[in-house]
Amino acid sequence: MNKILTSLLSLGLACSAALAADAAITAVKVTDSLKAIKADSAVWSKAKFSSVTLYPQTAIEMNDKKANALCENAKAKKAQVAALYDGKSIALMVKWADGTKDLQTGATSTEYSDGFAVQFAGATAKPQPLPYIGMGSVGRPVVVHLQKATEKVYEPNGNKDVSIQVNRQQTDVFGKELAAFDAKVAALAVTDYERVFVGEGFRSLTEIKDGSMKAESAMIYGTSGWIGTLSRPLKDDYVNLSGTVPVSIAVWDGSKMGRNGLKNLSAWIAINLDGQKQNAALIADLTTDSKGNAAKGKEAAESNGCSGCHQMTSADSKSFMAPSLKNVGGYSTASYLRESIVKPSAAIVPGYNRNAHSNTPWYNIEKGKRISTMTDYSHLDKNTLDDIVAYLETLKAEVE
Ligand code: HEC
């Protein structure tokens, strides 16, 4: 704890002792333009920081034993998050401690970078209930802004053609000509890995590349941690933000081989645009815990067979049958957990590659719709449900 505090303080945080854990974030209204805001912009002195806890995402495992082993008992991390808005844009700053600066520096596939992402609920006719926290769900899209700490990375499958880089040995050029060749290749490298995606569930991410997204993100390494910034329009083709804005924050740790789903993720948290009418129902939805009894819920989960399919805690064996629930309480709201139990098909966790794990699909397709393979528990009485949800809320890693 001390180590974290010291490193957060050395990031230059205005860290007040009375920080409520995961309270809503207040976006302070400013008159300065936030369009090209950077981490060192003076306007950040007007911002208020709130503490947000990011839990290891453990719903599905990576297909990489080494990475899984490194993250086996990953802890939760604290981030400090602030927001500002002007008439047109919203800007976020995310600070988190990370003892090693991991940059992607080349074409190797064994090197992973630190990174962060901010996820917004995408514009739908009915914004509630919220999308599934892990990249959205069918009919409930999310917009994900991703920034990776990249010094130089070549993307053979991206827009830039680097075939000439791959064939350096076969160029048959030397001296000046080879230097010119290398310079040409270097110019093709991506040095600012900033991407925006829309998603409706794991592996459904589609990058927005048609110029319709006007966002700016960046990250800089301080004395012992990262400062990430993002600015984006309040309103565009993908979101329409006002009043109370649900967001979720993720960070990746390159030294733990973090990438894709292997990350730390917050639950949906509310950003209140100061001075605008807040959405009380949404805030209540995000912050209200179950009134049930967790100890009774643990028994009810056992007697109802939940652990037959799910890994509930690290002590249980892993299972391909269903998502691991060992951190589900960290990144889920009580209402999401309740919905998952009584309406399993409302928001589906898509699970593993369906070809590789064809014996344990997490959903079947019936009449073009995804139907969860989870037992329907809508018959459970209200108290039992409250108890189970209270129990699930306790399933989460400690803060490192
Ligand atoms: C027959 C196997 C099975 C049983 C029994 C089962 N589940 Fe599930 N559960 C699944 C599958 C498969 C999914 C992923 C598909 C989906 O989202 O519905 C899932 C998803 C979930 C999720 C969402 C997880 C996430 O990462 O967002 C929660 C919460 C959950 N189950 C809780 C429970 C509880 C509580 C019980 C017992 C009351 C239970 N499950 C019993 C198979 C099962």
pLDDT tens-place string over residues 205-227 = 899 989 999 999 999 998 889 99
Rg of the chain over Cα atoms, rounded to whole angstroms, equals 22
Q: What phi-psi label fits residue 189: left (phi over 0), alpha (psi between -120 and 50 degrees) or beta?
A: beta
- Using a 6 Å CB cutoff, which residues line ligand 1? 59, 301, 304-306, 308-310, 321-323, 325, 328, 337, 340-341, 344, 348-349, 362-363, 372-375, 377, 388, 392
The residue type at 92: L
Rounded distance from Cα 129 to ligand 1 centre (Å): 18
Q: For residue 101, which of 116, 93, 113, 118 has the smallest C-alpha distance? A: 113
Matching CATH number, 288-393, of 1.10.760.10, 3.40.50.300, 3.40.50.700, 3.30.450.20: 1.10.760.10
At which residue do the structure tokens 């960046």 appear? 218
Structure tokens at 39: 């981490």
CA 9 vs. chain centroid, Å, equals: 24
Q: Is 342 helix (H, G, I), strand (E, B) or coil?
A: helix
Each residue of 263-291: pLDDT tens digit?
999 999 999 999 999 999 899 889 899 99
Mean pLDDT of 167-188: 79
Contact 122, 198 (CB under 8 A): yes
**Which pLDDT band holds residue 17 (cuts at 50, 70, 90)?**
very low
Q: How far is CA 165 from CA 144, 162, 174, 189, 218, in A?
A: 30, 5, 15, 10, 27
CA–centroid distance, 79 to ligand 1, in Å, is 29
Distance CA 344, CA 306 (A): 13
Domain 2-153+190-286 grouped into CATH 3.40.50.720: no
Whether 7 shows a pLDDT value over 50: the answer reads no
Which region holds residue 83: left if phi is over 0, alpha if psi is between -120 and 50, else beta?
beta
Q: What would the mean pLDDT of 156-185 be, rounded to a whole number?
A: 69
Who wins on pLDDT, 62 or 147?
147
pLDDT confidence tier of residue 22, bands split at 50, 70 and 90: low
Cα–ligand 1 centroid distance for 387 (angstroms): 16
> Contact, 305 vs 380, CB < 8 A?
no
Q: Does the structure show a pLDDT above 50 at 20?
A: no
CB contact set of 59 (below 8 Å; sequence gap of 6+): 134, 261, 323, 324, 328, 349
Asked whether 151 and 103 are in contact (CB, 8 A), the reply is yes
**Assign residue 379 a region: left if phi > 0, alpha if psi is -120 to 50, beta otherwise?**
alpha
pLDDT at 163 over 80: no
- The C-alpha atoms of residue 247 and residue 259 are separated, in whole angstroms, by 20
Per this entry, what is the length of the chain? 400
What does the mean pLDDT of the chain come to?
87
CA of 270 to the centre of ligand 1 (A): 26
Q: What is the pLDDT of residue 109?
A: 66
For residues 115-131, average pLDDT: 84
pLDDT at position 13 is 37
Whether the predicted pLDDT of 16 surpasses 50: no
Comparing C-alpha atoms, which of 111, 135, 106 is closest to residue 121? Answer: 135
Please tell me the distance from the alpha carbon of residue 374 to that of residue 352, in angstroms, as a whole number: 15
The pLDDT, as a whole number, for residue 337 is 96
Give the model's confidence band at 353: pLDDT under 50 very low, under 70 low, under 90 confident, else very high. Answer: confident
Quick one: pLDDT band at residue 159, thresholds 50, 70, 90? low
- Percentage of the chain modeled with pLDDT above 70: 88
- pLDDT of 127: 56
Domain ranges of the chain: 2-153+190-286, 288-393
Pocket test for ligand 1, best of 336, 374, 391 (most atoms within 8 A of CB): 374
Return the closest-CA partner of residue 203 out of 331, 371, 370, 354. Answer: 354
- 107 confidence band (pLDDT: 50, 70, 90): low
At residue 152, the pLDDT reads 77
Q: What per-residue confidence (pLDDT) applies to 220?
A: 95
